[in-house]
Structure 1
């Protein structure tokens, strides 16, 4: 599987990153099947988050212990997600979430520790100094953020550079061919044109969640099919239906399906990108692999995104 480099990580990171929300310690046979299949196709990076709960991380931890393969994996952990009382951008929350995640994963470090949300009331200096303590303690090797604005991310990395601290080596917003009408979940950030342009200038690796837009390009949805209210709220728009139509047209000419075309759009940006995927079976995993095979020209990518006609 192709890969990208992230500063601070010794091994390359797989372009397709395995999500963990579909894993559960009470369904270990299913978890083992999925994780083994992912490793068999050359994947090496798995995304976790404290807010996803204990069951998935415990399943992953048990699998790593059985396979004795921790040293060959890149683990992403995310923390400091808000709770019912509001933001949790504190040193205590960062450390608590990381400690609990490590215990559940049965490991003493994650390769990349990400902040799951931002809190604009907290200075980037405080945030970076708090995270530096995790680096120094050996609990993580590199830092990243999820759902931050590029302005805030740039401010943080400028501060890190000028103060001798570890900056953010990667960013994880939503990037997909289907553009959301509104955030899928509160506080989420999706990459628009200006966001993408910033990544083109900075070349900071982007690890996209919901890269396949919740199955929008699989044929699961149609303008007159209104049973999934979240999909209706987030993705139903004339522009997205046109993107789907174009993806289907291009897929037919290339011998793929529309979902592979949409995934290829994410993976063939003009900066390093990875896509976080959540297959529920080895067959779904192998379907996503086809997105790595598709080659898009820049003109085709722009056409898919409605930036050009024709």
Structure 2
């Protein structure tokens, strides 16, 4: 699996990563099993995936703990794994975000302990807060980078103005934000800025909560207790339109002997504005299937067809 440089840092990660919110993310998904979560991480590493993307918010540190436990196993070499984690949710003030230098410094130390490692490859400010100047928060991470505690500086869920404020000193290496074939707002202004400033881009929700996997039909409806029923993507004409477009991709996927999900991941991997893509998984088999996307050599013609279909 090919590696790609993260911003201007010395970190090189696999272009296909693992989004680990379902590894220990008991507060996000009911009924998760920790041993299954650890097996998901093992499967990723065995499949050549080196980028593991986690956060304190995934299980209030439990995801980090499980990844740390796996990396203590003799089978795996910590030096060949790229750990990305995030912090902003303040456990002492539930429901609030904190970007203060003191909070970020403590968050890094706490994450190092949970991950059982001496350094974190990529550390993100998970969400901006309302009080801390963005460049001061990033400057705190820069000091931690100089101290060897982290190797690359990231920000997540920042709008363009906030990204520019955070990057006043040129310290930001990578931005993580929502982006998919059906959520492409970043193409207008954010991605051009990132290109110009040599900042990597890692999209989350690349499969759009399963909408881009081909598993839904236009006839499906969702109970009012289902979280999907509250999301605009799963309602009315928008839902019908998305499914119609996904159905049109099935013929292309068949030509590559691939699933629709693998085809979508291959489109991201070919997109020059995307540094790495981090699909999540609730089962080890899903990780194994996602990893096969790396072998798809999507033609320029098919890339353009998919691009225009969802433009």
Q: TM-score, normalised by structure 1?
A: 0.82
Partner of 2:295: 293
Bigger fraction of residues in helix = 1
The answer on 1:35 being equivalent to 2:41 is: yes
What is aligned with 2:72?
Answer: 65
Q: 1:277 aligns with which of 276, 279, 292?
A: 279
DSSP-derived class of the 2:96 partner = coil
CA separation of 1:284 and 1:201: change in aligned 2, threshold 3 A: same
Which residue does the alignment assign to 1:78?
A: 86
Distance 1:85 1:132, change over 3 A: same
Provide, for residues 103-128 of structure 1, a one-character-per-residue CA deviation record: whole Å limited to 9, x for no partner.
11112221111010123653233222
Name the residue aligned to 1:211.
206
Instruction: Report the more deviating stretch, 134-143 or 115-124.
Output: 115-124
2:12 equivalent to 1:15: no
Q: Secondary structure at the match of 2:178?
A: coil
* Structure 1 SS opposite 2:85: strand
After superposition, the Cα gap between the structure-2 partners of 1:12 and 1:125, relative to the gap in structure 1 and judged at 3 Å, is: closer
Note the 1:1-310 alignment, pairs <5 A.
Answer: 1-7=1-7, 9-10=9-10, 12-24=12-24, 27=33, 29-52=35-58, 53-67=60-74, 69-81=77-89, 84-119=94-129, 121-157=131-167, 159-161=168-170, 167-179=171-183, 191-227=186-222, 229-232=226-229, 233-236=231-234, 237=238, 238-306=240-308
> Mind listing any 5+ residue stretches in structure 2 that lack a counterpart?
26-31
1:274 shift after superposition: 0.9
Please identify, of 214-223 and 78-87, the stretch whose mean Cα deviation from structure 2 is larger: 78-87
Between 37-46 and 222-231, the greater mean CA deviation after superposition: 222-231
Q: Displacement of 1:96 after TM fit?
A: 2.5
Q: CA RMSD in A?
A: 2.9
Q: Is the 8 A contact 2:138 2:153 kept in 1?
A: no
Q: Per-residue deviation at 1:78?
A: 0.4
Secondary structure of the residue that 2:98 maps to in structure 1? Answer: coil
Is this contact kept in 2: 1:62–1:105, CA < 8 A? yes
Choose between structure 1 and 2 for higher RCO, CA contacts under 8 A separated by at least 6 residues.
2
SS in structure 2 opposite 1:173? Answer: strand
3-state SS in 1 of match to 2:212: helix
How many equivalent pairs are there? 294
- The CA distance in 1 between the partners of 2:78 and 2:272, in whole Å, is 32
Give the CA deviation at 1:87: 3.0
The structural deviation recorded for 1:9 is 5.0
Q: What secondary structure does 2:103 align onto? A: helix
Contact 1:144 1:170 in 2 (8 A): yes
Distance 1:140 1:87, change over 3 A: same
1:16 Cα deviation (Å)? Answer: 1.5
CA distance in 2, matches of 1:86, 1:23: 23
2:86, 2:20 → 1: CA distance?
A: 12
Consecutive unaligned residues in structure 1, runs of 5 or more: 162-166, 181-189
